[in-house]
Structure 1
Amino acid sequence: MSATLPVLDYTADMLRQLAEADVHRALAEDVGAGDLTAALVPAGKTASARILAREAAVICGVPWAEAALRQVAPGAQWTWRVAEGQRCQPDQTVLEMTGLARGLLTAERTVLNFLQLLSAVATRTADYVAAVAQVPSLDGETGRVRARIVDTRKTLPGLRLAQKYAVHCGGGWNHRIGLYDAVLIKENHIAAAGGVTEVLAQVRATASITAVAKFIEIEVETLAQLEEALQAGATMVLLDNMDLPTLREAVRINAGRAILEVSGGVNMGTVREIAATGVDRISIGALTKDVKAVDFSMRFVDL
């Protein structure tokens, strides 16, 4: 069963507009009224520079790096040596630039900040995707992965769309973008509504929700709750913090009736076994929440 997921429109125009807005905010907090240190460099001096990756990574953040150069280094020219979504090796040149030295210096930290964050998200996502790539589906076939790696709303404030794009760039899938485009009924919603059956009936009867929600999903913590949700017509169920035997039993009980998603307890040591239970989706907050920045540096080669 394939999961119905919100899909961002990752067109060149969408990414450029998103990157321009993100970079505008980043430059406002970094540059303010002007770069005092770059002012020490003669105004008309030109230079060439390159950005090096100090470790292996999946490159992500090209639109953001280019937006920073456009905004503070007008007239600069650049060439990417590693394309968006491709892997680089340690000490490999990723980007070469030529332009006014002042502009390149002012853009440096903003370019690196976006590259180090988004490449980290893409790299971690790619590692999880690779980890489940050879897990056989329930019919025993490998190379046809049943479980998709999915992100969450655990993102840096103001950078959610950028991080979700990075997940996409790393081969993962986007969950709901925010509270406005899909329904995820959690334990507090269930308690407030009076139970699993009651909350599902209520959400289906609310026209303002059903008219816009891309999907309606309910979180369950026990097999009894799963059975109740299925009896109430749930089509997407989030299995929260269940151990492997319970997950396998949940897949058996479900029998293909609903899309099953797993959350909680997912790491590189457990993700293969979770995927092997036969669930459809594995959502991982750590893709965007706990990332360690990829190490990049910029060096002038002709100044």
Structure 2
Amino acid sequence: MTAVQTSAPALIRPSASDVDRIVAAALAEDAPWGDVTSQALIPEDARAEARIVAREPGTFCGEQVIEAAMRLTDFRITVTFQVSDGEAFDAGAVLAVVDGPARSVLTAERVALNLAQRLSGITTLTRRFVDEVAGTGARVVDTRKTTPGLRVLERYAVRCGGGANHRFSLSDAVMAKDNHLAVLTRGGTVGLTEALREAKRRIPHTVHVEVEVDRLDQIEPVLAAGVGTIMLDNFSLEDLEAGVKQVAGRALVEASGNVRLETIGAIARTGVDIISSGALTHSVRALDLGLDIQIDAVAGAAAEDGRR
């Protein structure tokens, strides 16, 4: 088994089976017939000690994917983490130490780094968003604008940064957006309140209902239907404040649209409960992490082999 130091227990991690499935697919994509470079150049009995090092500061997310990439490539690789998921680090920090057969470490390197860099980028950006709303009571949440196939990992990365998750999939909750409402009300020929009430009668009482509005005058008809959350989409700051007052605690208020680092603080101060941003996952920059082979360790192993 690969040796791993565990991270903060408060974080709800993706299941091991989900992580293994995603990482195994990435490894198969990267080395479908093996790593011909390592097999050609690296002696079969060579060992490597390597460090995963941060090239820039950030907040870490990647314990599970790094561990899985190494373990699924070769169970003889050990990984010891110096930084846990959700912890901040400086440029130059050693995040993990990897030891094992050199061929296997080099084969797993790219997949481990690709995933950890992306997840750490999401966590780092989320932490910056969360810091901007500190003290307001607003919750920063993600959206379904995730990389296909990586949603379970990317949403975990949001949690590592102090954010929260919106509905995980289309199966989790009712969320009526502008196009849904246009069809539901037949272009405005059917009353919005009654149309929403009828829709609610068709679903279990345990299913949460959220409705998006883009004008203040839509708020009352939506609230009259008894929805749980109302999304104020692309509202000005003034209209957000007015909307929060109008809702007056009858539903959760979510702000969406034009959410950036420069704007999220002002949005939070309008009194909304939730601020959702697709930018947390859909356009994030991967953090720069690298894997550095320890030359002294390699040289020492080679010298030991020569004395045998």
Could you state the TM-score of these two structures normalised by the residue count of structure 2? Answer: 0.88
Q: Deviations over 1:84-108 (max 9, x none)?
A: 1101100111111110000000000
Deviates more, 1:85-94 or 1:229-238: 229-238
1:81 CA drift (Å): 1.0
Q: Distance in 2 between matches of 1:233 and 1:123?
A: 37
1:242 CA drift (Å): 0.2
Q: Deviations over 1:102-155 (max 9, x none)?
A: 0000000011011100001111111111111133xxxxxxxxxx2100000000
Which residue of 2 is the match for residue 74 of structure 1?
75
Paired residue secondary structure (2:167): coil
Q: Distance in 1 between matches of 2:163 and 2:152?
A: 14
| % identity of equivalent residues | 42
Q: Distance in 1 between matches of 2:252 and 2:60?
A: 32
Which residue of 1 is the match for residue 306 of structure 2?
none
Which residue of 1 is the match for residue 119 of structure 2?
118
1:163 CA drift (Å): 0.5
Which residue of 1 is the match for residue 25 of structure 2?
25
1:64 CA drift (Å): 0.7
* Preserved CA contact (<8 Å) 2:79 2:98: yes
Could you state the TM-score of these two structures normalised by the residue count of structure 1? Answer: 0.90
**What one-letter code is carried by the residue in structure 1 that aligns with 2:219?**
L
| 2:138 pairs with 1:147 | yes
Q: Distance in 2 between matches of 1:15 and 1:22?
A: 11
Q: Distance in 2 between matches of 1:104 and 1:212?
A: 48
* Preserved CA contact (<8 Å) 1:184 1:216: yes
Which residue of 1 is the match for residue 240 of structure 2?
247
1:10 CA drift (Å): 6.2
Paired residue secondary structure (1:23): helix
One of 196, 199, 212 as aligned partner of 1:219: 212
1:15 CA drift (Å): 3.0
Distance of aligned partners of 1:233 and 1:211 in 2 relative to their CA distance in 1, 3 Å threshold: closer
Would you identify which runs of 4 or more consecutive aligned residues in structure 1 move more than 4 Å?
A: 9-12
* Preserved CA contact (<8 Å) 1:80 1:94: yes
Which residue of 2 is the match for residue 296 of structure 1?
289
**What one-letter code is carried by the residue in structure 2 that aligns with 1:32?**
P
* Preserved CA contact (<8 Å) 2:147 2:282: yes
Q: Distance in 2 between matches of 1:199 and 1:171?
A: 37
Deviates more, 1:217-226 or 1:77-86: 77-86
Deviates more, 1:85-94 or 1:74-83: 74-83
**What one-letter code is carried by the residue in structure 2 that aligns with 1:53?**
A
* Preserved CA contact (<8 Å) 1:239 1:260: yes
| C-alpha RMSD of the superposition | 1.4
Paired residue secondary structure (2:36): coil
In the alignment, structure 1 segments of 5+ residues that lack a partner are 1-8, 136-145
Which residue of 1 is the match for residue 227 of structure 2?
234
1:11 CA drift (Å): 5.0
1:232 CA drift (Å): 2.3
Aligned length: 281
In the alignment, structure 2 segments of 5+ residues that lack a partner are 1-9, 186-190, 299-308
Q: Distance in 2 between matches of 1:212 and 1:100?
A: 52
| 2:171 pairs with 1:177 | no
The structure with the largest alpha-carbon Rg is 2
* Preserved CA contact (<8 Å) 1:181 1:212: no
| 2:201 pairs with 1:210 | no
Q: Distance in 2 between matches of 1:118 and 1:31?
A: 22
